[in-house]
Structure 1
């Protein structure tokens, strides 16, 4: 493509930067005012963009490929009107889509959409197709969508035109030549597969456009229901039945939500390609690792539902790794360096070769033996690969392969004094264990070249790296070093604390694993850098727990007021009510009705004398008298009015009869451990600690809560959802309930106390 044409295009398109955290969200079909009935077009040239846009926007149209070659598509409306031309029809659909941004969010974005509608078909036709792809790849470097922050018909037109080119685009897509364009294309395909899969299957499926070489995994993942797409993302060079992936956590902490994403993606690809999963513990740093972490990581993997074929340890390969290190020394591909650590770091940054780089093989082997024996001289050295100190990619500037460490190893004790680095051990063990595809987060992207170079120097087969974006959550630290600080300094109970982003922590908080799986897999294997809101995860969780969890009643112990019903039952009586009015499986509960009941103080203070209120699950009552002491409400007096209409009352109140069987509750709420949404790389998390992360309030609960089991999720009427952390043991010990966020609030809690 000529530079003049490139410049012309550049003038048309807005260069506004889209933040890294912007992510795709599936558009729900809108309620449309379109009265289209029939789309006519030439069978040889189906207008994919129109059909795709109609599917995404929820427009129901009848397809009629009856026009002759050369005729433009025509949309016939129910009113008798008709519209000619692809772009005109697209504009009509976009404008008529109620509540959508298919035509941009303002006049400027609409103008940009118009420019794309005009130019997208032109730049993707003819002999300069690849040059156009190069232009688009550059344009999409920092963008999630072509226009603004949401899907528009501009994206649909470009996606459809690429798809329509057939193998021409597919060959470039597989070549990894235009990664930004491919990332954009795959993201659109994943998030809107509910519409686009049907279109491609009907009009280009016979040519194999956009289809995966492997079977679909729809409904394979627990919790992956109608909200997730069926679109498949390819592993490069993968063959069904031959894929082997590995999940390789370091046993230096419990698994957190970021590790969960990696584990579930490995599971996904293994099942999709009918392959194998290896769980390998990267236990190369004895100073940080322990059997406790190994046991709990395996527990977390089981909780996530990841089925693996074998569990291995990098320490299983220590003898072979040491043999390989010695072999590389003899081949002149590695050398022992005694340069002080800070000086070595500075030299690597500046591309300065170490004074030890040209030592003889004999000198290197002698110092290597000192390292292996853990002598004083040996502990001053490290083994480095001799790669390229002048490469712009600093990861290739002679990385460290081995270091001395006198600490005993949790599996092999004090047998070794030297341990391989992750960068050295990982490619070696991947190759030996038959791994075909190594999935790892894009934060390691700059080290991919190092990984392949080390494999080459070792003379081992190539293992394909497949990148996905690291999962980052707002107000959250995921570094195990930082999480360990919270544990060691007793800012939390332990690694299972409900404030922690560990798998065990968020499950203890009340998250269902089905929700976590759905949340992670909805993101797919995108390489976009995401900063995710916890609210989205908790919203998914609410949809899972609300339909089935039992309902109970509680009033705060320090803030409740007595209501005496003058015409209430002389003797208390019991009714058997459902724990959930719409779900029989939740069981029954016994509710006691009496003439003296407890109300929340906040409810009592909202009542006026003479007002009629509704007592939930009972009926109406009229408040006759409000007694106070120095402005504080001490007691209410009223009478039942069970014939009153519950539709006419403003206040619907929860209540508890004054009986001895009420149970004591401890309601615990939490907030984030840090008070900044996103920490920058140079920021110290200790400067952003949240001073108040836990609040506890005592309450009285209905007697049925004696039967609530540990881990059970319930709803306290008008209070929210709770998970039972400590069940009923005895009357003097409260039931401990952890508040579960419901996704409606900006933070995980409204904590204000200590």
Structure 2
């Protein structure tokens, strides 16, 4: 699995990593995590760390971890040998002329120079040529219907400092060259790539053949997108840098950090990826498909608590001093003691206009207006009354809670400024004892993740 450390990992990385890891596990093999770090202009140490943290959170294990940059001297040696053998050449044509020649299927004058000349030019790429003035191109087939094969670039000059190697190198391989060499050197037997790499498989094979290196088997799988959620870094980065989205852990994003903060658990992501199968058909999945799997994963360990929105206080006579409420319908998570006699809080939508309600765990209560407030009396515990069943919160110890409710970030391809809203409520005192990160079901509201002492993120219904 060769991610580039140029951004935070997202659901697309998760799909690729899970497929690689599960395939290796299925056949008793090993899976290599290799950071494809050969573009020093785009890579940062924080991205190496973020990818490692994200994959560890997913619970994936790798038989080996390495960086492509670990082998830069070997990669450069292979590149030089390919140039000296005539399998590649140094091109100093202008970028626009190269593009024009590839479209016209016409080789440039540089390709006709002899190998000794290209050897000298290779050395100049490391010393005197400026960035953008020279590249190494593979001697492919300019007449090929596969445009990838029309003498593609294999090396370019980048003077930026590398996060691990500093200024040690200024000539860097393209992904096509580096991944082919590394797969062969690392002993990879099966190389899985996303579907956009499919046309590049011919170049992969041709490069390894030209260098007389062992060729792994190549397979491709489809990309994964969610409806209303941008996955590619090209779409995510402008939203972050422009301030539309606070950071990569925003719960509206399909990043691993965003989904973790939202309350999606790693085992749900793994099961979701496997449910899609190994297919080449592009997949744009509704987020609800992942939600359904996540709900099944967290429900059994998810305590129930009461929260009310737009709280209305009511003094109700005849209530017991204490009442025990089940933490889960199964009874497996025990009970909590609640003290309703000091007054209760009801959701505005339930209390306004209601004459009688069934309070979950208490019974039927008759309500009436008392000036600006509410008062009531306990009626009975008859569950067949037909009254609306509603949650309630004991006033004593109640915690003010703000819930962040994420919606689709993009609507019709455009950023929706209202895609993240907040709702204010009051939650039971038991909330305070829950650890941060705990999943909880707020009765008649939805599953949430405790983000902090006074904030939650709604995971799903």
TM-score (norm 1): 0.59
8 Å CA contact 1:371, 1:379 repeated in 2 = no
Post-superposition offset of 1:349: 2.4
Is 1:336 aligned to 2:72, yes or no? no
Distance 1:316 1:398 in 2: 27
Once residues 618 and 575 of structure 1 are traced to their aligned partners in structure 2, the CA distance between those partners, rounded to angstroms, is 8
Paired residues of 2:5 and 2:48 also in contact (CA < 8 A): yes
Pairing 1:651–2:388 present: yes
Match for 1:635 among 356, 369, 373?
A: 373
Q: Answer yes or no: is the 8 Å Cα contact 1:374–1:418 preserved in 2.
A: no
5 Å matches for 1:219-238? none
- Report if the CA contact (8 A) 1:612-1:649 is conserved: no
The alignment partner of 1:577 has SS state of strand
Q: What is the match of residue 111 of structure 1?
A: none
2:335 to 578, 588, 598: 588
Structure 2 equivalent of residue 215 of structure 1? none
**CA shift for structure 1 position 374:** 5.0
- What pairs with 1:551-630 in structure 2 (closer than 5 Å)? 551-556=304-309, 559-565=310-316, 567-569=317-319, 573-584=321-332, 586-594=333-341, 596-607=343-354, 611-623=355-367, 625-626=368-369
CA distance in 2, matches of 1:658, 1:265: 50
Instruction: Determine if the alignment matches structure 1 residue 692 to structure 2 residue 418.
Output: yes
CA contact (8 A) 1:374 1:406 kept: no
Instruction: Answer yes or no: is the 8 Å Cα contact 2:340–2:395 preserved in 1.
Output: no
Q: Choose 326-335 or 385-394, whichever is displaced more.
A: 326-335
Give 5+ residue unaligned stretches, structure 1.
Answer: 1-246, 629-633, 680-687, 729-734, 743-754
1:525 Cα deviation (Å)? 1.1
Residues of 2 paired with 1:374 and 1:422: CA distance? 24
User: Is 1:457 matched with 2:227?
Assistant: no
What's the offset of the Cα at 1:498? 1.6
1:379 deviation in Å?
4.2
Contact 2:400 2:424 in 1 (8 A): yes
Structure-1 residue corresponding to 2:118? 364
- How far apart in 1 are the matches of 2:4 and 2:86? 30
Aligned counterpart, 2:427:
701
**Alpha carbons of 1:485 and 1:587: their partners in 2 closer, same or farther (altered >3 Å)?**
farther
Alignment deviations for residues 324-377 of structure 1 (CA, whole Å, 9 cap, x no partner):
11111111111111222233223222312222111222322222212112543x
Deviation beyond 6 Å, 4+ runs, structure 1 = none
- SS of aligned partner of 1:593: coil
Give the secondary structure class of the aligned counterpart of 2:304: strand
* Structure 2 counterparts to residues 346-385 of structure 1, below 5 A: 346-373=100-127, 375-376=129-130, 379-385=132-138
SS for the counterpart of 2:101 is: helix
Number of matched residues? 461
Report 1 or 2 for greater relative contact order, CA contacts < 8 Å, sequence distance ≥ 6: 2
**Residue in structure 1 matching 2:4, options 246, 250, 273:** 250
CA drift at 1:523:
1.5
**Distance in 1 of aligned mates of 2:287 and 2:415:** 18
2:405 equivalent to 1:669: yes
Does residue 741 of structure 1 match 2:449?
no
Superposition RMSD in Å: 1.7
Structure richer in strand, relative to its length: 2
Alignment partners' CA distance in 1, 2:97 and 2:416 = 37
Choose the corresponding residue for 2:20, options 266, 282, 292. Answer: 266
- Tell me the residue number matched to 1:548: 301
Contact 2:311–2:425 (8 Å) recurs in 1: no
Structure 1 residue 656: Cα displacement:
2.0
SS in 1 for 2:180: helix
Q: CA deviation at 1:691?
A: 1.7
Q: In 1, distance between residues paired with 2:393 and 2:141?
A: 75
Structure 2 equivalent of residue 33 of structure 1: none
Q: How does 1:462-501 map to 2 (within 5 A)?
A: 462-501=215-254
Q: TM-score, normalised by structure 2?
A: 0.96
Describe the SS at the equivalent of 1:265: helix
Measured against aligned partners, the alpha-carbon deviations of 1:542-594 in whole angstroms (never above 9, x if no partner) come to 112223211111222xx2223232x334xx7223333113142x343221121
